[in-house]
Amino acid sequence: MRYVYSNFGLMARENLNRIMRKKWIIIAVGVVLALLVGAGLMVPTLVEDRVEEELRARLVKRGLDAEWTDFSSQFGRTFRIEGLLLKDEKRGVVARADAVDISIAIDSFTDADVRLSAVNVENFGLEVDLKKLNQKSDAKDPDSPTQGSGLIQKILENPPEIFMNQATLEVSHGALSLAQMKVEQTQVELSRESVTLDSTAHYKTLFPVPEFLSAPVDVKVKATLGLETRDFEFELTHPEADKPLMRFRDSEAGSVTIGRVQGHGNLTNRTVNVDAQTIKVRIGHASNKAELVATTDIDALRIQRDKRGRISLSLNSPEIVVTPANAARLRPLLKVIGDTRLMMGDKGQGQGSGPRPSKLQTLDRIGRTFARVLHRQDVQLRDLRFALNVEGDYTPGVFHQITLLERINIKTDNGTIRASGESADGTINALVDFLPGVAIPRFAYVDVSKVKLGKIPGMPKGRTELPSRGTSGRVDGVFSSTFMMRGPGLGSMEDLLDVFHGELNVVWEDGEADFVGVSDEPLKDFSVRTNFDFIWHPERANFEAKNGFFKLGPIRVNYSGAISGFPLDTTLSGEAAMEELECDRTFRNLPAAMLGPYRYIKMDGKWAPTFSFYLPINRPRAVNFEIEGYEDVCDVVSLNVQRGDWPDIRLPGITGQERSDALSDVFWLEKPFIKQVTEGLATDESEVFVGPGLPTYVPLSEMPSWVGGAAYLSEEILFYTDHGISLGLIKKALRLNLEKGRFVYGGSTVTQQLIKNLFLTRDKTLSRKLQEALIAWRITETIPKDRVLELYLNVIEFGPDIYGIGPAARYYFQKDARDLTPMESIFLAMLKPSPLYGERVMQRGQTPKGVWWTNRTVELFRRLVEHKHLTQEQAEAAKPYELEWEKGVYKPRMIEVPLFD
């Protein structure tokens, strides 16, 4: 029994011990579980505090001011920072984020440094102030690769995955905002060697530029940063591969297109190379090529920043084409630039509140900015081409290019520009030096040597004719020129007054010129040279040319001149004096085309004419000029016209030597000639003849005195005393044309108008005016004034195919010219500037009652009385000074004044 109990007791004790052992195991397990649960509850808080403290310590160590509204964790592995704000005032960098989720590796909790496994950023913003960022600093960057293994290197040992949602980058320079880039989604890949970014962004310029340049654009961005070397590279393209990166357009100012941008550099030494490809700039009307002022095409543009912080700019194969005819379209662009400067204020920062800058102020500021850039940046242009876009070939609106410069290389260095290149077998070299912030160069030198004008690419091979657009044409010959200007500090004490001195020399050898508006035929085989010194006072807006001379063969003209009062009261003034020379030799040495059929003219005498002028641009009524030393010194012995150039005149009954003598000079004017009118006819089928050989010709002696009187007194009061040319009429013409801004009055005398109808054409060219003057001299010396007036009355135009006073009297008044009344004579005289106006008056039924017509009529009656062609009683009897027609038929007044005085 004892044994049984003993065995039972042993078994009980063993079971109890076994149970106790299990209990302690259970308790131990419970304790362990409790500890694990407790640890699970405590670790996140411990890790959260640890990470937050580590983050603050790291940010402070890097000199960053950090703020956030909330820092939390999820199970100790993912941390969330909300309302993050990081500032580096010293470097001008501010970073913001609505939220940042950071995942850390669990096995790095006990390490000295927390290791990241993933980062997610929501609505990230980065602001960079380039003004502060570019400032040099002696502080050591603890995370720079050159300063040990910083935080960046530790993170990159096991790089996390980074994802950004809605990132924004804003760049400024001080208070001036420059640009903004917004990114919806960005994928950032980190490795031990590099960081790679690939995203599509929305870019907008904030800097005060012309409005059309601030239009937002979409950009595809690819960028890589080498983490060990700190080398970086990037590429900017349009999201659609077949489109240019940027295209800015304004209907008035122009357009700018950039194909793509790429670059590379190094963050450690702050070097940058940016390449922009396929750049196109259009200035002027962007939607109409014919209205462009200038175009620029650049294959590649490179911007470089070296270790010293100096910027250099290089352009490869730029092409610049300028259309001079459209220069007026620069006004919208200048307005845009002026608006931009107004936005920037006087210092280019912030919003200006002053008045709008003038065009001159705008150009001056552009010049000053350009000079500063030359000193701060290096610029290089390789293989530049410069061309003019001109109309021609008789087709308005059709342009062709004339390449003036090619293979030009330009380089700048500390404010000095050096250029060299070629043009039509010739060479071009230039040196220009600027002071910092000064728009005008202190020294400039340009040398153009042996340029063969006829070989300039695009030079027209024949005459171009666009009368409505002014002078156009072609030139040939060998052209050379030198220009030199020196500014303050490079001369005498006078230079201290901001006076610029300079010299211009031009030589044109074996010349040829073919211009509409100059002559009917090309000017050939001439050589000219001109040279002058100048003094320029920019502050006083005064430019003075002195010691100038112009030389053409034996003809030498010394001249001087000045431009003053710019821009409010711009005035041109000058004087010229030809050195004494035989009259015959003077004209024989002019280009033959200037004299035309009269190139063999024979003259006697010597002359040394002088010329002076005063031309206030904004006060045309004050214009004045004087020509002296040309009257009664040169006698035209004979026009000496050769047989092949004789006028197309019929001389019935005159043959042989008499005919030859008459047609080679002006003596045919005294013969009964007949001439066919070939210009100004109503239709191609019209046939009109004039001259004393016709039955419609009316001798002056058979007409009332007031007929001839009204004719010359309405044109040239001093007809009977002048020399065929009237300086007074020329002055009047110049003043009127300048005042109206267009050609309204020619200033021709009665003699000159007769010459235009019988000797020359109606073309308005310099050569015709010169020939007209020579013929006028000859006529004045040989043909009586009454004969000149008689011919004038019988050949000038009075209406559609109505030439001569006889047909005019029949057409308007159904009477003979011998029976014209004073009022009828004045009416016909007043038609001469616009002969087609008479038919419109007839259709309206009466003469105009406007102020000009009435006052002009009264004035001509007064002149007729004053010059004894009419009595005061006859003038009074002719009132009212009106004429009437009914259905084109003249209605004469019942009471008439006596026909003859």
Instruction: Express the helix, strand and coil content of the chain in percent, nearest 5 each.
Output: 30, 35, 30
3-state secondary structure at position 385: strand
Structure tokens that stand for 173 in this block: 């320079």
Cβ atoms 299, 278 nearer than 8 A: yes
Average pLDDT over residues 590-598: 91
Count up the domains in the chain and report the number.
3
Answer positive or negative: Cα dihedral of 861, 866, 868, 874: positive
- Looking at the fold, whether 776 and 684 belong to one and the same domain comes out as yes
Same-domain pairing of 878 and 848:
yes
> What's the whole-number mean pLDDT along residues 715-720?
89
**Domain end residue (candidates: 252, 285, 318):** 285
Name the DSSP class of 775.
H
Reference 585, options 618, 561, 556, 549; nearest CA is 556
What's the rounded mean pLDDT across residues 708-732?
Answer: 86
Do the domain assignments include residue 868? Answer: yes
Minimum mean pLDDT range among 277-291, 513-527, 756-770, 790-804: 277-291
Beta strands in 684-829 (DSSP E): 688-690, 797-799, 802-803
Domain co-membership, 698 together with 627: no
Largest CA distance in the chain: 191
Angle (nearest 5°) at CA 656 between 653 and 659: 65
3-state secondary structure 276-304: EEEEEEEEECCCCHHHEEEEEEEEEEEEE
Summarised one tens digit per residue, pLDDT across range 180-239 is 878 766 767 777 677 787 888 777 776 555 555 566 777 888 888 887 787 888 888 888
User: Would you say residue 804 lies in a domain?
Assistant: yes
pLDDT over threshold 90, residue 712: yes
Residue with tokens 């030096």: 433
Residue 803 sits in the same domain as residue 845: yes
Task: Give 300 or 539, the one with higher predicted confidence.
Answer: 300
Under the banding of pLDDT at 50, 70 and 90, the label for residue 446 is very high
Query: pLDDT per residue over 447-462, tens digit each?
Result: 999 999 888 887 776 6
* Helix (H) or strand (E) segment spanning residue 447: strand 443-452
CA 96/CA 86 separation, integer angstroms: 6
Mean pLDDT of 615-623: 84
Cβ atoms of residues 392 and 400 within 8 Å: yes
The span from the CA of 336 to the CA of 208, in Å, is 10
Q: Pick from 645, 676, 710: which residue ends a domain?
A: 645
CA 683 to mean position of chain CA atoms = 43
Backbone angles phi, psi at 376, to 5 degrees: -95, -25
Could you give the count of Cα atoms lying within 13 Å of 92 in the half-sphere of its Cβ?
A: 16
Q: Which residue has the tokens 């000639």?
A: 673
Is 769 inside any structural domain?
A: yes
Helix (H, G, I), strand (E, B) or coil at 634: coil
Report field, pTM of the whole predicted structure over 0.85: no
Decide if 220 contacts 200 (C-beta within 8 A). Answer: yes
- 146 in helix, strand or coil? helix
Q: Is residue 592 part of a domain?
A: yes
**Considering the chain, what percentage of its residues have pLDDT values greater than 90?**
30
d(CA 547, CA 605): 28
Same domain, yes or no: 731 and 858: yes
What does residue 630 show for φ and ψ, rounded to 5 degrees? -120, -15
Is 614 inside a domain boundary?
A: yes
pLDDT tens track for 66-94 = 888 888 877 656 778 888 888 877 777 88
Q: DSSP code of 869?
A: S
Euclidean distance between CA atoms 272 and 303, whole angstroms: 8
What is the chain's mean pLDDT, rounded? 79
Q: Which residues on adjacent β-strands are paired with residue 322?
A: 294, 388
d(CA 286, CA 738): 32
CA distance 636 to 778: 6
Residue 594 within a domain: yes
Grade residue 810 by pLDDT with cuts at 50, 70 and 90: very high
Q: Is the pLDDT confidence value at 765 over 60?
A: yes
Share of the chain above pLDDT 70, in %: 77
Q: Report, as an integer, the average pLDDT of 119-140.
A: 70
Pairing mode, if any, of strands 116-129 and 161-173?
parallel
Task: Give the whole-angstrom CA distance, residue 337 versus residue 341.
Answer: 6
* Confidence tier at 135 by pLDDT (50, 70, 90): low
What CATH number has the domain bearing residue 863?
Answer: 1.10.3810.10
Same domain (yes/no): 816, 680: yes
Residue 860 in domain: yes
Same domain, 698 and 845: yes
**Each residue's pLDDT tens digit, 385-404:** 888 877 654 455 667 778 88
Q: Which two tokens stand for residue 312?
A: 């250099």
Are 867 and 754 in the same domain?
yes
Q: What is the pLDDT of residue 115?
A: 64
Residue 116 has pLDDT above 70, yes or no: no
| 261, part of any domain | yes
| 275, 176: one domain | yes
Place of tokens 């063993």: 14
* CB-based contacts of 494, cutoff 8 Å, min separation 6: none
Q: Are strands 500-516 and 231-237 parallel, antiparallel or unpaired?
A: unpaired
Q: Are 144 and 150 in contact (CB under 8 A)?
A: yes
| Strands annotated E in 44-115 | 65-67, 70-74, 78-88, 93-104
Domain boundary among 233, 257, 285: 285
The boundaries of the domain holding residue 250 are 167-285
Contact assessment for residue 546 and residue 560, using Cβ atoms and an 8 Å cutoff: yes
Q: What angle (nearest 5°) sits at the alpha carbon of residue 468, between those of residues 466 and 473?
A: 30
Measured distance CA(587)–CA(770) in Å, rounded: 10
C-alpha of 748 from chain center: 36
Give the Cα separation of 194 and 190 in Å (integer).
6
Note whether 444 and 434 are within 8 A (CB). Answer: no
Distance CA 605, CA 232 (A): 84
- Let me know whether 637 and 674 are in one domain: no
Helices (H) and strands (E) in the chain, counts: 18, 39
Give me the helices (H) in 345-384, please. 359-376
More confident residue, 127 or 481: 481
The beta strands (E) that lie in 579-730 are given as 581-582, 602-604, 606-607, 610-616, 624-628, 635-638, 675-677, 688-690
Window from 113-122, 598-607, 675-684, 750-759 with minimum mean pLDDT = 113-122
pLDDT tens across 397-445, in order?
Answer: 667 778 888 888 988 888 888 999 988 899 999 999 887 777 778 889 9
* Residue 593 and residue 677 share a domain: no
| DSSP bridge pairs for 96 | 85, 125
Between 595 and 322, the more confident residue is 595
834 by Cβ neighbours in 10 Å (0-12 / 13-18 / 19+) ranks as exposed
Q: What are phi and psi of 664, to 5 degrees?
A: -80, -5
Tokens 């001011």 correspond to what residue?
Answer: 65
Please give the pLDDT value at position 463: 59
β-bridge pairing 602-604 and 635-638: antiparallel
d(CA 428, CA 426): 7
CA distance 424 to 448: 11
Please tell me the predicted confidence (pLDDT) of residue 806.
95
Q: Give the per-residue pLDDT at 38.
A: 41
Claim to verify: residue 595 and residue 731 sit in the same structural domain: no
